[in-house]
């Protein structure tokens, strides 16, 4: 299969592949070997298609002449893609953990799952407090300030209070 033909991917990510010693672009990723600003060595920056900021920047190996960088190759590029993808995945997991909280409360009617999802809108951030029964059926949802603290106590108070709108 030609290097520029990538099955089952976004058409914007199927542009011609670039395989140069200091610039390698394929499958929606670009690796660029750059001069390390902190010392006399080299670094590599990994960019995901459509992103202006690198997902990963790390040291890059010197070539045999100990002056120029080692050229990029398929194996190195694939390893960099895997590492950069993992960094993005961990960042997304961390962001999800910051924006989503869940507490289970036991009631006379059974277990109630209370969730808080923060919507980080630039101008008017808010959060949604929601409750589901043990079968996943929605019981209630109210909009609350993004600063609302979801704890077992606050969840129990909301459930026992009949899911009243909070201020």
Q: What is the mean pLDDT of residues 118-126?
A: 93
In this structure, the answer to whether residues 64 and 22 fall within a common structural domain is yes
- 157 membership: H or E segment, kind and range: helix 152-160
- 127 membership: H or E segment, kind and range: strand 126-133
Least-confidence region, from 38-42, 78-82, 147-151, 153-157: 38-42
In this structure, the answer to whether residues 68 and 105 fall within a common structural domain is no
- 160 membership: H or E segment, kind and range: helix 152-160
Residue 81, domain member (yes or no): no
CB-based contact 157:134 (threshold 8 Å) = no
In this structure, the answer to whether residues 17 and 66 fall within a common structural domain is yes
**What is the distance between the alpha carbons of residues 13 and 25, in angstroms, rounded to a whole number?**
10
Residue 3, domain member (yes or no): no
Neighbours of 29 (CB within 10 A): 21
What percentage of the chain reaches a pLDDT higher than 90? 77
Backbone angles phi, psi at 16, to 5 degrees: -55, 135
Q: Is residue 6 over pLDDT 90?
A: no
Instruction: Give residue-wise pLDDT tens across range 86-107.
Output: 999 999 999 999 899 999 999 9
In this structure, the answer to whether residues 109 and 64 fall within a common structural domain is no
- Domain end residue (candidates: 55, 72, 89): 72
Instruction: Choose among 113, 110, 105: nearest CA to 129.
Output: 113
Residue 82, domain member (yes or no): no
> Residue 34 sits in which domain range?
11-72
Residue 87, domain member (yes or no): no
In this structure, the answer to whether residues 105 and 147 fall within a common structural domain is yes
Q: Is residue 9 over pLDDT 80?
A: no
Q: Tell me, what's the pLDDT at 159?
A: 95
Number of domains within the chain = 2
Residue 15, domain member (yes or no): yes
Q: Tell me, what's the pLDDT at 67?
A: 87
Q: Is residue 111 over pLDDT 80?
A: yes
């Amino acid at each position: 299969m030609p290097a520029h033909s990538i099955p089952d991917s976004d058409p914007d990510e199927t542009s011609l592949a670039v395989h140069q010693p200091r610039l390698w672009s394929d499958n929606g990723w670009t690796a660029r070997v750059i001069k390390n600003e902190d010392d006399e060595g080299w670094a590599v920056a990994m960019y995901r298609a459509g992103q202006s900021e690198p997902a990963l920047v790390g040291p890059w190996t010197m070539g045999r002449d100990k002056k120029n960088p080692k050229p990029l190759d398929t194996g190195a590029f694939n390893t960099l893609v895997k590492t950069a993808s993992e960094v993005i995945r961990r960042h997304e997991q961390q962001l999800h953990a910051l924006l989503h909280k869940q507490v289970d409360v036991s009631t006379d009617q059974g277990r109630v799952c209370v969730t808080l999802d923060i919507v980080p809108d630039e101008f008017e951030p808010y959060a949604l407090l929601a409750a589901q029964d043990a079968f996943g059926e929605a019981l209630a949802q109210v909009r609350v300030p993004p600063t609302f603290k979801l704890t077992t106590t606050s969840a129990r108070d909301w459930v026992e209070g009949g899911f009243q709108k909070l201020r």
